Structure 1
């Protein structure tokens, strides 16, 4: 019998949308600030070069049209690259924050089960999830609580 692989819906990746978007926006904002600084440095230095070339040439109009076309092309490619970067960063931040936030749901369910006295409860995480060590510690705690509960039940 073949097992069908469970396919996740996109909405399942947004466990805590506000928190996940906030974490993703930090990365995006920092990267965009870096990009803006780099664009400003490029712009300032390029226009100094632009003015120097225009001073040294006799073909001012031809050179101006060539440089303006180059600048327009660079602006278009910069905007395209920024747009692609934005969407890739959003997708990656949703994916990775899901791996960080997902285990917290398993931890909360496990703690609720332990508080109800269900010491057989265990935390099961996916292979790529974060906090595997915490899950192991919680499972050891559940084992210890189960052992202590059995001892008390046996009158030890």
Structure 2
């Protein structure tokens, strides 16, 4: 199963994207001022002329800005793909759980090999398969119990019905 839509839960994905962008902006500004302060307060810098220091600050600012801009752009673009591998499966699990809550146990959970939630997908798939097997077994027992009751064999019907839903632990 291939999920190609990258913004499956746009509000959630944009929120994480904005939070990541804000964190990177704050870290960029803090890094800029920390490095600029350490460069300007380096011993011996006072021997340079004010024009040289001004040129140095300008060159540093331009270089730092472009490095941070490119780094941030790469990280933010990568985050879209990463969030897709994380939030995409969560969106799919929500759909699966909705179907399960409606009583549909016929579906299987699919995952892509690069999804971040393979273990969870495998557990949910195993739970669905176990539930499906139990439901089918219970339906078969109920049909047999109905036949036994029609044949007036109440002991057999009781025995069959006692085994229904024993797979489900309620305590």
Q: Say whether 1:20 aligns with 2:19.
A: no
Alignment TM-score, normalising by the size of structure 2: 0.69
Cα distance 1:46–1:115, how it changes in 2: closer, same or farther (>3 A)? closer
For structure 2, the residue ranges without an aligned partner over 5 or more in a row are: 142-159, 161-171
Where does structure 1 differ by over 6 angstroms across 4 or more consecutive aligned residues? none
C-alpha distance in 2 between matches for 1:121 and 1:19: 26
**Partner secondary structure for residue 120 of structure 2:** helix
- What do you get for the CA RMSD once the two structures are aligned? 2.4
Alignment TM-score, normalising by the size of structure 1: 0.75
Deviations 1:89-144 (A, max 9, x none): 22111111111110122212222333343322111011111211111111111112
Aligned residues: 140
Task: State whether residues 21 and 94 of structure 1, in contact with CA within 8 Å, keep that contact through their aligned partners in structure 2.
Answer: no
Select the structure with the greater relative contact order (CA < 8 A; seq sep ≥ 6).
1
For structure 1, the residue ranges without an aligned partner over 5 or more in a row are: 1-5, 55-62
Cα distance 1:70–1:52, how it changes in 2: closer, same or farther (>3 A)? closer
Which of 1 and 2 has greater Rg? 2
Q: Say whether 1:128 aligns with 2:138.
A: no
Q: Which residue of 2 aligns with 1:106?
A: 92
Q: Which residue of 2 aligns with 1:60?
A: none
